[in-house]
Structure formats: C-alpha cells, structure tokens
Amino acid sequence: MDPNNPNKKDSYFQNWISVIGGILSVIFFTVILFLSFLDIWSKEINPYIGIITYFLAPAFLTLSLILIPVGALRERAARLKHGTVRRFPAIDFNNPTHQKWAFTTIGVTTLFGLFTVFGLFRSYEFTESQTFCGRVCHEVMKPEFTAYHNSPHARVKCVECHIGPGAAWYVRSKFSGAYQVYSVVMKKYSKPIETPIKHLRPAQETCERCHWPQQFFGAVEQDKQYFLPDEANTEWRTRMLLFVGGGTRKFGKKEGIHWHMNIKNKVYYIATDEERHVIPWVKIIDPEGKERVYVDEESGFSAASPPPGEIRRMDCMDCHNRPSHNFRTPVDAVNEALSVGEIDRELPYIKREAVKALVGEYASEKEAAAGIRESLKAFYESEYPAVLKEKKDSLARSVNTVVKIYKSNFFPEMKVSWKAYPENIGHKDAPGCFRCHDNKHKTAGGEILTNDCNSCHIIMEQGKPGAIESNTGGLEFKHPDEDVGEAWKEMNCFDCHSGEIA
Ligand code: HEC
Ligand code: HEC
Ligand code: HEC
Ligand code: HEC
Ligand code: HEC
Ligand code: HEC
C-alpha cells in the first residue's frame, strides 16, 4: 500500500503469503491434474502415484489455498490497525473490472469444486482397492496378500470382509485405518499382527451377504491323500463325508456342522486366552429357549461361576478364522504337492526331507530359498548319490516346488506361518473343533458335548492304494502309521500332530 495515498485500494491479496500460496496452488493443481490423467490412462493403479495424487498433493493444495486468505486477512488486519480500511469491499456489477473478477471467481470455484468431488471419489475408490490394502503396506500385509491370492476369495475385495457396507463402518475403518498407516510408518505394529482382530465386523454383515446360512444342508465329500515320512513316501487315502448341513429344519434334521449357525440357535462362549484357543465355558440357547451350559470339567469353573472375560456369540469366524489367509502347514502343503505330482514321490524320503527343509530357521525369504536348496541337495548327495544323478531334472523340479511352497506360506520378515495363525477348522494339527468337542465339556447333568467320531463326518474309504477299505455307512478311523495303533483313542490328534512330522 502506498502510505502517501491511503485511498488507493490495493488488493489485500498483494502480500507475500498470499502470493506464495497462489503460486504453490497452481503448481500442486497442475501436478494433480497431470497425475490424474496418467492414472486414468494407465491400466493399473500404482500405489505410490495413488498416494501422491489422492492424498499428498490434495493435502498440500489445500494448505496452499488456505495460505491465500490467511495472507489477505493478515494484510487487512495490518491495514485496519492503520485505519485505512473500509469494513466491506463495494462490489458493483456494472463495473467491468468487478464483473470480470466475479465471473473468474465463480468459474474457478466451480472447477475446483468439481475437481474436489472427483478427487474425493477417486481417493474413496483407491482406499477400497486391493492395491491400497495389500501393496501400500507392502511388507506388513505381504503374508495376507499372498495367501489371499491363493484362496477361494481371491476375487472378493479385502473390504468386503474387513469393512462391509455402510457409512458408519466406513468411517470407523478409516479412523482405525489412519492409525494403521501411522503405525506402519512408525514401525509400531507387532510381528505377527495380533489376532483375533478385536473389532472385526460381525459375520452377519459380511460373510452372510454372500453365504446364506439357511442354505447349508447335506454333506460335502473330502478326498485327501497323505504320505508317510518313510523311504517310499507311502501313500494313504481318506475319503470322508462332512456333514455341513444344519441351516434350517426344512432341509433336514437337527444336525450338521452349520447347525450352530441356525439363526434360532445361539451358542455363547468365554475364552480364557487372547487367542480364543482355551474355551472352558460354553452355553447354548436352543430354539425353545432352553439353556444348556457345558463346562470343561478340568477347568474348575462351573455353570454358576463362569470364568472372567467377555461372553462372545459364536459366529462364522470362530471356525472359519482363515477363510482368506490360510497359511498351510508344511505337512499339508507337501502332501498336496506330492498328490498332484509337483513333487516327485519316487524320490526316497522326499516327504520327510521337504518338510524338514521347510521348517528350518530362516531370517528372510532369500535365505530360506538358499537354505532349502542346500539342505535337500546335501541330503541326496550324502544318502542317495545315484538318485541325484538319475533323477536330476525331477529333483530340481521338486526342489523348486518346495521353495514355492515356502514363498506362499512362510513370511519370516513378519514372523508369519501356520504356527502364528492356526486354523480352527478340524482337529488334527490344532484344537479347532476340539476346543469345545473334546469329551471334557459337560453339563451339570452329565451330558457331553459330542466327541463321537461320526457326528461331524464319516469315513467312507481309507487305506493304502490297493488295500483300501470302504463302507459308505462309515468306517472306524484307522491310523495310517501302524506304530501309533489305537493311541488316537486315548489322545487327541493334535497332542502328536502340529503340522510338522509327528
Ligand atoms: C473372505 C473374507 C476376507 C477377505 C476377502 C480378506 N480378509 Fe483379511 N481376514 C479375514 C478374517 C476372518 C481374518 C482373521 C480374523 C481373526 O482371526 O481375528 C483376517 C485377518 C487379516 C489380517 C490380520 C492378520 C492375519 O493374518 O490374521 C490382515 C492384516 C488382513 N486380514 C488383511 C487383508 C487384506 C490386505 C486383504 C485383501 C488383499 C484381506 N485381508 C482380505 C477375512 C478376510
Ligand atoms: C463378496 C462375497 C463373499 C463374501 C463377503 C464372503 N465370501 Fe466366502 N466365498 C465367496 C465365493 C465367491 C466363494 C467361492 C465359491 C466357490 O469357489 O465355489 C467363497 C467360498 C467360501 C468357502 C468355501 C471355501 C472352499 O475351500 O471351498 C468358505 C468356507 C467361505 N467362503 C467362508 C466365508 C467366510 C467365513 C466369510 C466371512 C469372513 C466369507 N466367506 C465372505 C464369496 C464371499
Ligand atoms: C462350528 C464351526 C463352523 C461355523 C460356526 C461355521 N462353519 Fe462353515 N464350515 C465348517 C466346516 C467344518 C466346513 C467344512 C470344511 C471345509 O469346507 O473346510 C464348513 C464349510 C463351509 C462352506 C463350504 C460349504 C460347501 O458346501 O462346500 C461355506 C461356504 C461356509 N462353511 C460358510 C460359513 C459361513 C458363512 C458361516 C457363518 C454364517 C459358517 N460357515 C459358520 C464349520 C463352521
Ligand atoms: C465354542 C464351542 C464350540 C466349538 C469351537 C465348536 N462347537 Fe460344535 N457345538 C457346540 C455346542 C454348544 C453344541 C450344541 C450341543 C447341544 O446340543 O447341547 C454344538 C453342536 C455341534 C454339532 C451338532 C451335534 C449334534 O447334536 O448332532 C455339530 C455337528 C458340531 N457342533 C460340529 C462342530 C465342528 C465341526 C466344529 C469345528 C469346526 C465345532 N462344532 C466347534 C459348541 C462348539
Ligand atoms: C466336532 C466335530 C468333529 C468330531 C467330533 C471329530 N471330527 Fe474329525 N474332523 C472334523 C473336521 C471339521 C475336520 C476337518 C475337515 C477339513 O479339513 O476341512 C476333521 C478332519 C478329520 C480327519 C482328516 C484329517 C485332516 O485334517 O486331514 C480325520 C482322519 C478325522 N477328522 C478323524 C476323526 C476321528 C477319528 C474322530 C474321533 C476321535 C473325529 N475325527 C472327531 C470334525 C470332527
Ligand atoms: C501318539 C501320537 C499320535 C496320535 C495321537 C495321532 N497320530 Fe497321526 N501320526 C503319528 C505319527 C508318529 C505319524 C507318522 C509321522 C508323520 O507322518 O507325522 C502319524 C501320521 C499320520 C498321518 C499320515 C501322515 C500325514 O500326512 O500327516 C495322518 C493322516 C495322521 N497321522 C492322522 C492322525 C489323526 C486324524 C489323528 C487323530 C484322530 C492322529 N493322527 C493321531 C502320531 C500320532
């Protein structure tokens, strides 16, 4: 302002702060415009461009834009102090200069508004994408991201399970998401990430949008091949019928695995550990409204004096805790590779050696790959030098498969493997169903929570190829390793089995 001529109306915007704000705004606006076009035309969203385009640049643009009025207000305050200011500017639409300014302002504001809406929409889309969930937090989420791509849910978006529909959960997830981004940047997350996830959205609002519990009925067949850790990698086959039914009475009797989920049945439980592996107290309220409480007789608790802790209503995730991030046990993964021929079952002791190589201690994926190759090579070199020569190609292919199994199921950087996240379906390698159905959970009246081998499934076929016994009505389980004999009648499978060689 010219102090000699207080009537000359310089714009308040003529100050350094506003000018710098203006210049920066133009720069950031151009950057956003440029990157947006790049993003629209390129096929896949690049997470880093995404972060710059939809988070960082808009944040800086907003700050720069704020600088403009801040500078002007300061300027005005300064001029007020010197008494050289009218309270409001006079706008006269007959004045061509005022006209020009008004239209420019309206135009720019509209453009900016439209652009902001577009930007907000894109950033919403972007934070919902698999790219954002899996790749941005690259190292942290790598285990889940990898397992997800190998799962039956590979085409279901992360947010369909982790957030689900509805504005309230969206906002909630963005708040906890913001905290998660912060903890990733500050390296405050735990390795492995702790589960069960505390505020996972209830299954009714996620899983049940696609899987309708009333539709569970009948049984599904499961045909599994196992291999013993002997020289011949002896094969063992089990064909079972799993009673997955139980959705509604309309489709059958009151029985079946999903019977828990019959919306009229309510199962409640209290776990005494964070992981929900130890469940001494279980209550069921049946459709007639009758209650039964089953308590682990060795726990010291009773129906009247339950353990301290949260009473949870059982839902899908209490069994299906790994629907999308199932880290296979080394035994299961090697059995499967042997059964489809990706590992050559003619190689002596390959089952035992492959599992042994997989469970070695490795600090990184790279170290593991080298370690696995080294350990298998060393074994055949010293024990079976002839095999090493004659079956060179098939050994190389088998070793590659073992390395591939490692990369899909072991993540040493995050300390993730099947050990960190045991699966609750079944009872061979972890308690799973036997957290409750272990023959020890009883009512005061002495009713036992069923542990009958034929209540959840029947075995229709079992045995070695060539000597398979079968009975569609159900066979008594026979243990594949003859030395174990009938020990399984006294002990739980998971007392001996843990996913490694027992
Ligand atoms: C089919 C549903 C589903 C989908 C799809 C899904 N998740 Fe999960 N996720 C779960 C469940 C269930 C848990 C385990 C909750 C528990 O044990 O408390 C989980 C757990 C996690 C965990 C905690 C660590 C762990 O392994 O338990 C992370 C991290 C995670 N998910 C990330 C992702 C990412 C990233 C995606 C997409 C690439 C994704 N999830 C897709 C259902 C899903
Ligand atoms: C957006 C839809 C969607 C949601 C949400 C969803 N699923 Fe699925 N689910 C699918 C599809 C599709 C399949 C694959 C069906 C197939 O392969 O036949 C599937 C398959 C499955 C299977 C069978 C897996 C197998 O090995 O055959 C299970 C178990 C399952 N889902 C459980 C869950 C659970 C638990 C949740 C909630 C955490 C969930 N789903 C959420 C769509 C969904
Ligand atoms: C009591 C434990 C338990 C609960 C609770 C449970 N499931 Fe299951 N579910 C199983 C078992 C066991 C199987 C069969 C084994 C398998 O497929 O891995 C199964 C199979 C399935 C399948 C595949 C069925 C098929 O025909 O192949 C789907 C889909 C599924 N469950 C979804 C759900 C959903 C959704 C919920 C929640 C409404 C749920 N389950 C609750 C134990 C449970
Ligand atoms: C949190 C404890 C708990 C867990 C874990 C659990 N169940 Fe159950 N289950 C119950 C209760 C309680 C009942 C009802 C018993 C009754 O009728 O009084 C039941 C009943 C059943 C029934 C019906 C039995 C009948 O009366 O015919 C089947 C089948 C079943 N469960 C299968 C499973 C399978 C398979 C798993 C593992 C994937 C599993 N359950 C895990 C608590 C549990
Ligand atoms: C509460 C229900 C329940 C009871 C009781 C039960 N099972 Fe199972 N069993 C399951 C489920 C669920 C699976 C896992 C199916 C899968 O892997 O998808 C399973 C798996 C198995 C398998 C295949 C092993 C594997 O994981 O590859 C065998 C063998 C088996 N059970 C034998 C038995 C025997 C023997 C008994 C009696 C001591 C028994 N089961 C009692 C629910 C039950
Ligand atoms: C007393 C310990 C013990 C008990 C209890 C036991 N097993 Fe085993 N099991 C072994 C041993 C030892 C082997 C041979 C080494 C190996 O393969 O892990 C074996 C091998 C197996 C195999 C073939 C190898 C493989 O791929 O895993 C299967 C399948 C199996 N057991 C299933 C079961 C089931 C299901 C139960 C529970 C009903 C059970 N076992 C209970 C000790 C036991």
**How far is it, in rounded angstroms, from Cα 287 to Cα 62?**
57
Band (pLDDT 50/70/90 cuts) for residue 257 is confident
**How far is it, in rounded angstroms, from Cα 246 to Cα 251?**
8
162 pLDDT more than 60: yes
Q: What is the mean pLDDT of the chain?
A: 86
Q: Is 241 in the pocket of ligand 5 (CB under 6 A)?
A: no
pLDDT for position 185: 64
Q: Is 427 in the pocket of ligand 5 (CB under 6 A)?
A: yes
| Least confident piece of the model among 37-46, 75-84, 117-126 | 37-46
pLDDT tens by residue, 372-429: 999 999 999 999 999 999 999 999 999 999 999 999 999 999 999 999 999 999 999 9
Question: From ligand 3's centre to the CA of 244, what distance in Å?
Answer: 7
Mean pLDDT calculated for residue range 304-315: 92
**How far is it, in rounded angstroms, from Cα 276 to Cα 197?**
11
**How far is it, in rounded angstroms, from Cα 296 to Cα 282?**
9
Q: Is 439 in the pocket of ligand 5 (CB under 6 A)?
A: no
- Laid out side by side, the sheet with 441-442 consists of 312-313, 266-270, 281-285, 291-296, 441-442
Q: Is 500 in the pocket of ligand 6 (CB under 6 A)?
A: no
Of all residues in the chain, what percent carry a pLDDT higher than 70?
A: 86
pTM of the model: 0.85
DSSP string, 378-436: HHHHHH-HHHHHHTHHHHHHHHHHHHHHHHHH-BGGGTBSTTTS---SSSSSS-GGGGT
* β-bridge mates for residue 312, sequence order: 269
Band (pLDDT 50/70/90 cuts) for residue 45 is low
Cis peptide leading into residue 196 (ω within 30°): yes
> Which ligand 3 atom minimizes the distance to the CA of 424?
2
Mutation probe of ligand 2 site: the residue of 151, 197, 209, 210 with most atoms within 8 A of C-beta: 210
Instruction: Specify the residue with its C-alpha closest to ligand 4, atom 40.
Output: 433
Task: Give Cβ neighbours of residue 64 (< 8 Å, ≥ 6 apart).
Answer: 21, 22, 24, 25, 28
Q: Is 478 in the pocket of ligand 3 (CB under 6 A)?
A: no
Question: From ligand 6's centre to the CA of 496, what distance in Å?
Answer: 7
Of all residues in the chain, what percent carry a pLDDT higher than 90?
A: 55
User: Under a CB-based contact definition with an 8 Å cutoff, are residues 395 and 373 in contact?
Assistant: no
Band (pLDDT 50/70/90 cuts) for residue 245 is confident
Could you say which ligand is closest to the alpha carbon of residue 211? Answer: 3
Question: From ligand 3's centre to the CA of 320, what distance in Å?
Answer: 7
Question: From ligand 6's centre to the CA of 40, what distance in Å?
Answer: 55
**How far is it, in rounded angstroms, from Cα 154 to Cα 490?**
40
What Rg, from alpha-carbon coordinates, does the chain have? 32
pLDDT tens by residue, 427-455: 999 999 999 999 999 999 999 999 999 99
